[in-house]
Structure 1
Amino acid sequence: MSEKHQVLAGAKLPPLTPGPHQKRIGLISIVACFGGLLFGYDTGVANGAEGPMAEELGLSLIQIGVVISSLVFAAAFGALVCGQISDLWGRRKTIILLAVLFFVGTLLVIFSPGGPEHGTFSPAGFAILVAGRIMLGIAVGGASTVVPIYLAEIAPYEIRGSITGRNELAIVVGQLSAFVINAIIAATLGGTIDGIWRFMFAICAIPAVALFIGMLRMPESPRWLVEKRRYAEALRVLKTVRPAERALAELHDVQRTAAAEKKGNKPIGIKAIVTNKWLMRIILVGIGVSMAQQLTGINSIMYYGTRVLEESGMSAQQAVLANIAFGVVAVVGGVIALRNMDRIDRRKTFLIGLSLTTLCHVLVGVAGMLLPEGSAARPIVILILVVAFVFSMQTFLNVAVWVWLAEIFPLHMRGLGIGISVFFGWTTNGFLALLFPSMVSGIGITGSFFLFAGIGVLALIFVATQVPETRGRTLEDLEDDVSTGAIYLIRAEDAEANS
């Protein structure tokens, strides 16, 4: 985005001066990001728990696949439904509901019974286990949509990227925590007691309680309050997270945009999408961005990293330990991404990230083709390249994608818009989770990563031609330009200026 557009975006608002509001925003982001931590832990814990679980409950490979993928498919449903619930009921109340779902889902999983003897199958126990995973999936999907919206709407535009991006950092911290806790539990309790996988899942209850208690003391999104015409409440909230003069000016800005939406009884939600070609276009672009993120194969690595490493030639024990490296570099990459989020344009980070991940895919495929099975170098080279892929993904793509999705949609359809986009992302994720083990078994590491590379090239073309920029602009300015299609004219002007 050109400097001209960034200056115009914030010209009508007083500057963001230091004050106690900074600590308040920090506290709100920490509490809300427990939702991201739960998201990460629940998607990562199965990576080490699936083996002991299958052994104790007598689960077949297809039944394990159902247990793992049920969370992912339920997350697609949760993303779609919870986004709309947050539009109607409020961001804060919806996050509190998600905390309850996380806690109850955890209880169902850890208390699901096995058969009468160790290693025997129980249909009732399997049903309870899957029900718990589905409940956790709904909560994970809801958190993936509502928490970024809440953070984006409460943060000032100057630091919106780094505040909203904290949720993605919390997700990878949750995944790393799952990998480390699984390794610790397996090393200390494995072989001495049955049901160690239940302890792995039980840890999830702690941040769920923290999220529930914390959000009871957090404010509602001021933009959602304005949408519901609760202006006095919105101003009270803004005064706790902005300087006084800025709070009043920002309230007037949000009121102006909300009033323009309601003028002439313009349709909102799904009706607005189907009657406005620009809103339909941005929904399709949002779907494309969300699917492109998943089609890099990042979650296939986070779910089945140990299988990829075993396929490369590592022993099972080596693979479990090496798998922690994926979590470590994801966290490091997330920290770097937060530092860059308010410095580098979203589109530029997308293009850099997709270029690097596609290059890593090609190199993994080449290594798998040139280094024969049994070669001592094969597992080491593939581990290094996959670690480079995860690092590139987290540094340039994952954080930026979630921030962009939370910014791009107008207020009256923000929950619905991100919900639809993330629904398609989670559905793509679900099919990859279901099919990736078979894909690696059938076409090997080489074929799998060459396939991801081909998809990466298509994603690069899509981002370069279709994705508009959002950095450095207020949500209200973005809303005006997205609704009228002017955001694509701005991108064209910037392209001409840079050529």
Structure 2
Amino acid sequence: MTVHHPPALNQPSAYYVLMLAIVAALGGFLFGFDTAVINGAVGALGKEFQANSSQIGLAVSSALLGSAVGAFFAGQIADRYGRIKVMISAAGLFLMSAVGSGIAFTIWDFMVWRLVGGLAVGAASVIAPAYIAEVSPAHLRGRLGSLQQLAIVIGIFAALLCDYFIALGAGSAEAPFWFNIPAWRWMFWTEIPPAILYGIGSLKIPESPRYLVAQGREAEAEVILARVVGGDTQTKVMEIRASVVRETKPRLSDLLGRHGLLPVVWIGTGLSVLQQLVGINVIFYYSSVLWQAVGFSEQDSLWITVITSVTNIITTLVAISVVDKFGRKPLLILGSIGMTITLGTLATVFGSAPLDAAGNPNLTGNAGLIALFAANIYVFCFGFSWGPVVWVMLGEMFNNRIRGAALSVAATAQWIANFVVSTTFPPLKDVGLGFAYGLYATAAAISLFFVLLLIKETRGKELEEMV
């Protein structure tokens, strides 16, 4: 069937594609915001609910467990009901979590609301890279895919900033703020406006053309392809149709080969897990605790955290500017080398430092500056490589038939790895910071060989070329 469109419609618009990618990446902003906003409230939660340290730890990590569950099911739901419906559902869950966390009566119902937020974070971590990859022209896909990581780090920064100013305005996180309501509750409610914006934006953007072709809605797919890719949209639809041919609805069994999971699924999962095993979230979840442990004041530690967040944003912008020029694999290799060196430096500095009466490393002389410099260079190396590039590759390395399900498996593994790294750092810190950073340095070295041996370049390839 031939579908005729007005001539103007066949002119692809980079601005239009950018708008679609920004709306999808709002899920990434909320992903970063939701995971970081609890930082400023942790101390107040303990006092408000008279919770012990294990209960507080569970309150923090319940969101990560929810994220693993959300990620696991999001891809399957997206393949059955569409990418947009998953985005709208995630926006609703973010909204419920923000409201509920702020009105929590006990530590237990607070955990439930954080779990709900985690489900949304997990869904957003799968659906944003998939949707962005599926609406982006090949020559822009790396830059647009990097918006997901940029949105995440901006979300983290925005959450820390909101926490800081609310606590500053009230005097402390547990002190009364507007309408005599404790400040920590307002910290969670600051997530309400972006959650609503994400929901409204999701209602305004079109469904993924790859999903539409899979559902037999080819005329609708052609209209969208004309605006995002242009050219011969009928041929494009035929290519997509050939790559999504399926007699049954997508399911996880599509990921299985003769010897278990398909090799590309293992590689994607490996990328996801290694992104976490290099210890990046130790810097973001525990940075103020870490810097206080090695002798910096609380105020200085907070400033270091802010500087680190800004460093991460700047380096992600660097990645966006070069990922389609230099390719994915070279950036991953450079990042792995840089992370191995800087984490090795941190392990050496912390491991060789004398201990104070409390058992924490005492960074005398230039050791503190070396550690601070190495930590920020480490964030720089992660920020231009493994941070954004992994999300770009997860969105584009799987073929159309398995993308949703494969992304679910990879993202679920990533959240489980995040949970493991985050919950093991406090006991590892008690063993010794040198030992902890030695483990992360080892993971960074493994990541280098993983990329060299297993990763294939995807720059400039159409999604229909992925095998």
**What is the TM-score with the length of structure 2 in the denominator?**
0.91
CA distance in 1, matches of 2:108, 2:261: 41
**Match of residue 179 from structure 1:** 160
Matches within 5 A, 1:399-478: 399-440=388-429, 442-478=430-466
The amino acid across from 2:203 in the alignment is: L
- Give, as a single letter, the amino acid of the residue that structure 2 aligns with 1:22: A
Structure 2: distance between partners of 1:456 and 1:270: 30
Match of 1:170 in 2: 151
Could you tell me whether the CA contact under 8 Å between 1:362 and 1:453 is conserved in 2?
yes
Bigger shift: residues 444-453 or 245-254: 245-254
Amino acid at match of 2:229: R
CA deviation profile, 1:52-90 (whole Å, cap 9, x unmatched): 222222221111110111111110111110111101110
Within a 5 Å distance, the mapping from 1:360-371 to structure 2 comes to 360-371=342-353
Gaps of 5+ in 2: 1-8, 355-361
In the alignment, the residues of structure 1 paired with residue 248 and residue 374 of structure 2 have an alpha-carbon distance, to the nearest angstrom, of 51
Does 1:330 find its partner at 2:301? Answer: no
Shift of 1:22: 1.6
Cα shift at 1:242: 3.1
Identical amino acids, percent of aligned pairs: 30
**Correspondence list, 1:299-318, <5 A:** 299-318=281-300
Q: Provide, for residues 381-421 of structure 1, a one-character-per-residue CA deviation record: whole Å limited to 9, x for no partner.
A: 32221111111101111100001011111212211101101
Q: Check the 8 A contact 1:308/1:445 in 2, yes or no.
A: no
User: How far 1:422 moved relative to its partner?
Assistant: 1.1
SS at match of 2:226: helix
Distance (whole Å) between structure 2 residues aligned to residue 231 and residue 147 of structure 1 = 22
What is the DSSP-based 3-state SS (H/G/I as helix, E as strand, rest coil) of the residue aligned with 1:412? coil
Aligned partners of 1:83 and 1:146 also within 8 Å: yes
Instruction: Name the SS of the counterpart of 1:448 in structure 2.
Output: helix
CA–CA separation in structure 2 for the residues paired with 1:20 and 1:94: 26
**1:24 is matched by which residue type in structure 2?**
Y
Q: Deviations over 1:18-63 (max 9, x none)?
A: 9562221121112111101000111111222212222222221111
Ranges in structure 1 where 5+ consecutive residues have no aligned partner:
1-16, 114-124, 483-499
Report the counterpart of residue 5 of structure 2 in structure 1. Answer: none
C-alpha separation in 2, matches of 1:180 and 1:267: 44
Tell me how far apart the structure 2 counterparts of residues 160 and 208 of structure 1 sit (CA, whole Å).
25
Q: Does 1:218 align with 2:170?
A: no
Decide which moves more: 463-472 or 36-45: 463-472
User: In 2, Cα distance between the equivalents of 1:148 and 1:273?
Assistant: 19
Structural mapping, 1:48-447, within 5 Å:
48-113=40-105, 125-191=106-172, 192-193=175-176, 195-243=182-230, 245-258=231-244, 261-262=245-246, 265=247, 269-276=251-258, 280-372=262-354, 373=362, 375=364, 377-440=366-429, 442-447=430-435
Residue type of the alignment partner of 2:306:
I
How far apart, CA to CA, are the structure 2 residues paired with 1:237 and 1:476? 17
Amino acid at match of 1:452: Y
Helix, strand or coil for the counterpart of 2:139?
helix
Conserved? CA contact 2:10–2:226, under 8 Å: no
Question: 1:14: which partner in 2?
Answer: none
Larger CA deviation: 403-412 vs 265-274 = 265-274
Question: In the comparison of the two structures, how many residue pairs are matched?
Answer: 446
Q: For the residues of structure 2 that align with 1:246 and 1:165, how far apart are their CA atoms?
A: 27
Comparing 422-431 and 460-469, the one that deviates more: 460-469
Contact 2:80 2:249 in 1 (8 A): no
Letter in 2 for 1:232: A
Distance between the aligned counterparts of 1:59 and 1:171, measured in 2? 29
Other structure's SS at 2:384 match: helix
- Given that 1:41 and 1:174 are in contact with CA atoms closer than 8 Å, whether structure 2 keeps it comes out as yes
Q: Whole-Å Cα distance in 2 between the matches of residues 390 and 195 of structure 1? A: 34
Q: TM-score, normalised by structure 1?
A: 0.86
Residue 491 of structure 1: aligned partner? none
**Structure 1 304/95 Cα, relative in aligned 2: closer, same or farther at 3 Å?**
same
Post-superposition offset of 1:190: 2.2
Structure 2 CA distance, aligned partners of 1:274 and 1:327? 39
1:468–1:145 distance in 2 versus 1, CA, 3 Å: same
CA distance in 2, matches of 1:385, 1:179: 22
CA RMSD of aligned residues (A): 1.9
Shift of 1:276: 5.0
Deviations 1:332-371 (A, max 9, x none): 0110010111012212211111111111101111222344
Distance change in 2, residues 1:435/1:370 (3 Å): closer
2:10 touches 2:227 (CA, 8 Å); kept in 1? no
Structure 1 position 278, deviation (Å): 9.4
Relative distance call for 1:433 and 1:324 in structure 2 (3 A) is same
Give the drift of 1:224: 0.6
Task: Choose which of 24, 32, 36 in structure 1 pairs with 2:24.
Answer: 32
**1:253 Cα shift?**
2.1
8 Å contact from structure 2 (residues 23, 202) kept in 1 = yes
* Structure 1: distance between partners of 2:442 and 2:229: 46
Q: CA deviation at 1:301?
A: 1.3
What is the distance in 1 between the residues matched to 2:121 and 2:48?
26
